[in-house]
Amino acid sequence: MRYDLVDLRLFVHIVAEGSITGGAERMHLSLPSASARVRSLEHHAGVALLVRGRRGVRPTPAGTALARHARDVLTQTTRLEGAVASYSRSPVAPVILLAGSSAMHRLVPQALISFLREHPDLDVAAAEQRTPRTVRMLADGEADLGIVLDEEAHGCGLELNPLVDDSLVVIGQAGGVLSGRTEVGYQEVAEHPLIGLDAGSALQRWIEVSLGPLAPVVRYGTVVADLNTLVALAAAGVGLAVVPRLAVDPGEQFEICDLQDAWARRHLSLCWGSTVRSSPEATRALAEHIQRCARDRDRDRRG
């Protein structure tokens, strides 16, 4: 049996919408035309693909199998079209995105997943950079977008769009010393064994510079190289850890407390380059994905 791509796409939409009407609207087809295509699919398959009801339709086991494989076929077709089309269009320079470690931990990967799925013909080069370096590269036309600490980038002369709260918080093992607390001062946190990042990391330098010469004596029982390891060890009870709020997954099982100290309050902004080096449309689309992901994370955090 030969399958028509329009029929497969229509069937996938019908299953997703739970109705033939909804699928037809997604495909900009009339209801009679969509119904005829479904009947033709079932006729050639020799088996019912949908169970009709007063409240819509649902797939039969055969329909579920068809929808699953149809999605795979349509995905591969999109990739095929993109691969062939790349030879007929002018090459577009990749969008260069720079961000600090907290944004690169979760926000940037989430944004890139949705962006690249929707724009398989575009490329992105993402790299981790501290805010001062990111601002310099954006000002010099060496990058398109940057996710920067607003407190460090304010007054840089580039366009800044507020993005998301990235204040520092303290995390520890569930049921541990932070249990029942909603906020705590760094002076008290420093009385417990801590897990820290390498001395050269942007986060560690931010903490040390913010504390200044009056910083309390801290005992770092463990020092690691990345936020993933830091969060995992804190959740396992190795010690407490000071991390950006953006690095915390609301679904993870550990205690979390806000830091009371004023220096711990930070915000991230989206910073635009001074010149257009990649496609303006691609850059704008990526910026919108980043902003959308930031809003989603903030909504999930607030519950």
pLDDT over 80 at 203, yes or no: yes
pLDDT the model gives residue 10: 92
CATH topology of domain 5-85: Arc Repressor Mutant, subunit A (1.10.10)
Q: What is the pLDDT of residues 98-141, one digit of tens each?
A: 999 889 988 999 899 988 888 888 889 999 999 999 999 999 98
pLDDT the model gives residue 302: 65
Q: Where are the domains of the chain?
A: 5-85, 95-165+267-302, 168-264
184: helix, coil or strand? Answer: strand
118 phi and psi, to 5 degrees?
-85, -20
Question: For residue 249, what are the CA distances in angstroms to 164, 243, 253?
Answer: 15, 12, 9
Residue reference for tokens 């995390």: 171
Percent of the chain with pLDDT over 70: 95
pLDDT the model gives residue 290: 93
pLDDT over 60 at 89, yes or no: no
More confident residue, 260 or 206: 260
For domain 168-264, say whether CATH 3.40.190.10 is its number.
yes
Q: What is the mean pLDDT of residues 17-36?
A: 91
Q: What is the mean pLDDT of residues 200-220?
A: 82
Structure-token pair, residue 33: 């035309």
Give the pairing type, strands 95-99 and 124-128: parallel
- Mean pLDDT (the chain, rounded): 88
Sign of CA dihedral 131, 137, 140, 146: negative
Cα(57)–Cα(16) distance, integer angstroms? 10
- Highest average pLDDT, of 197-206, 229-238, 277-286, comes from 229-238
Confidence of residue 85 (pLDDT cuts 50, 70, 90): low
Q: What is the pLDDT of residues 34-60, one digit of tens each?
A: 999 999 999 988 999 999 998 899 999
The reply to whether 168-264 shares the fold of 5-85 is no
Cα(49)–Cα(10) distance, integer angstroms? 13
Residue reference for tokens 């609207």: 25
Q: What is the pLDDT of residues 215-261, one digit of tens each?
A: 788 888 889 988 889 989 999 999 999 999 888 876 678 899 999 99
- Please give the model's pTM, rounded to 2 decimal places: 0.66
pLDDT over 70 at 288, yes or no: yes
Answer yes or no: are the C-beta atoms of 160 and 287 closer than 8 Å: no
- Sequence-distant (6+) residues with CB within 8 A of 97 are 108, 124, 125, 126, 127, 143, 144, 145, 146, 147, 286
Q: If you classify domain 95-165+267-302 with CATH, what class do you get?
A: alpha beta
- Highest average pLDDT, of 86-95, 151-160, 162-171, 193-202, comes from 162-171
Answer yes or no: are the C-beta atoms of 280 and 272 closer than 8 Å: no
Cα(34)–Cα(40) distance, integer angstroms? 10
